[in-house]
């Protein structure tokens, strides 16, 4: 029998520090420790692990389809691997940050993961109308945008959302106050209890919230939600500034019309992107707000690292 034949397949469903929880194909969950000093394992990883007494050791991480992460000047924060969808949950109130929304969308585009935007608090009529109008350019880009009212717990909203999530592995992303925990608890009954059990297992009895957790929505284990921690900043330092326009669907079609192949779309003559930016004199297909997000991000990503 070869060494590989003694290894068991598994799915990483939670991680905390040097511990992670691996689920077997039969649905059993085992505490495992990555081999080596540095843990590269993230939730959503398919792994091969070896049992040792009542725990296990992760011997190999299978090749990932994608990895959704953010990176600032100091560190990289991985959210999850092997995703089909990133659900970006924002709210009509408090007012969401369009810069943060754009950063999450760009990170998803860079990894070729489909994003879906859900706007919560549709019961707040005027704030919702204002927020919905701000999202019109994103709908025109082809992004799915769904209205939600988690406070009213409307079945029609949940059914519509579940249609998009069916059979997929979805990372739920959003700022604090958007309703992420409410959404998880509505779609996954008992999620809070599960989180407590996982935290206790990974922290030897201490109740500490795990940073990222996998939940099955259905008994057949075909639809999954991954809850992620909230964040204040979303760094994109892993993206080359010259590739930024290619990750923005409203800018991308016009790059081919630039006179220069290495156009930054900031100041060059004959720029196909700048020609499409809306102004008082020109309707354009790129909103001025979106172009400012691009130019600010380009400057941020071009700054030398110290």
Cα dihedral 191, 194, 196, 199 in deg (nearest 10): -120
Q: Residue 43: its pLDDT value, please? A: 95
Of 15, 40, 61, which one is at a domain's C-terminal end? Answer: 61
Regarding whether 120 and 43 lie in a shared domain, the answer is no
pTM of the model: 0.90
Domain range enclosing 28: 4-61
Regarding whether 165 and 220 lie in a shared domain, the answer is yes
The DSSP string of 64-95 is PS-EEEEE-SS-EEEEEES-SEEEEEEETTTT
Does the pLDDT at position 306 exceed 70? Answer: no
pLDDT tens for 93-102 read: 989 999 999 9
Regarding whether 148 and 109 lie in a shared domain, the answer is yes
Regarding whether 120 and 30 lie in a shared domain, the answer is no
pLDDT confidence band for 210 (50 / 70 / 90) = low
Regarding whether 272 and 184 lie in a shared domain, the answer is no
Binding site residue list for Zn(2+): 258, 263, 265, 271
Q: Residue 67: its pLDDT value, please? A: 97
**Running DSSP on this structure, what letter comes out for residue 252?**
G
User: For residues 114 and 184, which has the higher predicted lDDT (pLDDT)?
Assistant: 114
Q: Residue 194: its pLDDT value, please? A: 67
Q: Residue 261: its pLDDT value, please? A: 93
- What residues contact residue 293 under an 8 Å CB cut-off, 6+ apart? 98, 99, 102
Regarding whether 267 and 219 lie in a shared domain, the answer is no
pLDDT tens for 222-250 read: 999 999 877 777 899 999 999 999 999 99
Regarding whether 102 and 53 lie in a shared domain, the answer is no
pLDDT confidence band for 191 (50 / 70 / 90) = confident
**Where do we find the tokens 């006179």?**
259
Characterize the bridge pairing of strands 19-23 and 29-34: antiparallel
Q: Residue 37: its pLDDT value, please? A: 65
Report whether 102 contacts 180 (CB < 8 A).
Answer: no
State how far the alpha carbon of 93 is from the alpha carbons of 32, 154, 178, in Å: 41, 18, 8
What distance in Å separates the CA atoms of residue 216 and residue 96, rounded to the nearest whole number? 28
pLDDT tens for 104-135 read: 999 999 999 999 999 999 999 999 999 999 99
Binding site residue list: 120-123, 174-182, 258, 263, 265, 271
Residue 96, domain member (yes or no): yes
CATH of the domain at 188: 3.40.50.300
**Running DSSP on this structure, what letter comes out for residue 277?**
B
What distance in Å separates the CA atoms of residue 181 and residue 194, rounded to the nearest whole number? 13
Does the pLDDT at position 204 exceed 60? Answer: no
- For the ranges 37-51, 114-128, 188-202, the maximum mean pLDDT occurs at 114-128
Cβ burial 248-280 (10 Å sphere, 16+ → b, else e): bebbeebbeebeeeebbbeeeeebbbbebbbee
pLDDT confidence band for 79 (50 / 70 / 90) = very high
Regarding whether 160 and 74 lie in a shared domain, the answer is yes
pLDDT tens for 46-71 read: 999 998 888 899 999 999 999 999 99
Does the pLDDT at position 197 exceed 90? Answer: no
Q: Which of 10-14, 209-213, 296-300 has the lowest mean pLDDT?
A: 209-213
Regarding whether 104 and 77 lie in a shared domain, the answer is yes
What distance in Å separates the CA atoms of residue 306 and residue 303, rounded to the nearest whole number? 9
What distance in Å separates the CA atoms of residue 250 and residue 288, rounded to the nearest whole number? 11
Binding site residue list for GTP: 120-123, 174-182
């Amino acid at each position: 029998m070869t060494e590989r034949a003694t290894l068991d397949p598994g799915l990483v469903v939670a991680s905390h520090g040097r511990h992670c929880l691996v689920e077997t194909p039969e649905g059993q969950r085992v505490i495992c420790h990555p081999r080596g000093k540095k843990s590269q394992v993230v939730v959503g990883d398919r792994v091969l692990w070896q049992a040792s007494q009542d725990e296990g050791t992760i011997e190999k991480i299978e090749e990932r389809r994608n990895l959704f992460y953010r990176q600032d000047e100091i560190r990289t924060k991985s959210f999850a691997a092997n995703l089909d969808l990133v659900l970006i949950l924002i709210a009509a109130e408090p007012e969401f940050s369009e810069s943060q929304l754009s950063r999450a969308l760009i990170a998803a585009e860079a990894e070729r993961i489909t994003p879906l935007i859900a706007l919560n608090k549709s019961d707040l009529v005027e704030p919702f109308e204002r927020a919905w109008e701000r999202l019109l350019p994103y709908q025109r880009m082809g992004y799915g945008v769904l209205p939600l009212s988690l406070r009213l717990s409307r079945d029609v909203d949940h059914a519509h959302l579940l249609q998009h999530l069916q059979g997929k592995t979805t990372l739920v992303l959003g700022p604090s106050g958007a309703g992420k925990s409410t959404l998880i608890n509505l779609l996954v009954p008992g999620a809070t209890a599960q989180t407590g059990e996982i935290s206790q297992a990974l922290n030897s009895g201490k109740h500490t919230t795990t940073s990222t957790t996998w939940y099955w929505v259905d008994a057949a284990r075909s639809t999954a939600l991954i809850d992620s921690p909230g964040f204040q900043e979303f760094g994109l330092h892993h993206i080359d500034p010259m590739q930024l326009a290619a990750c923005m669907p409203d800018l991308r079609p016009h790059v081919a019309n630039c006179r220069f192949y290495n156009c930054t779309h900031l100041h060059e003559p004959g720029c196909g992107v700048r020609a499409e930016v809306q102004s008082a004199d020109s309707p354009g297909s790129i909103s001025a707000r979106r172009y400012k997000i691009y130019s600010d991000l380009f400057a941020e990503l071009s700054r030398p690292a110290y």
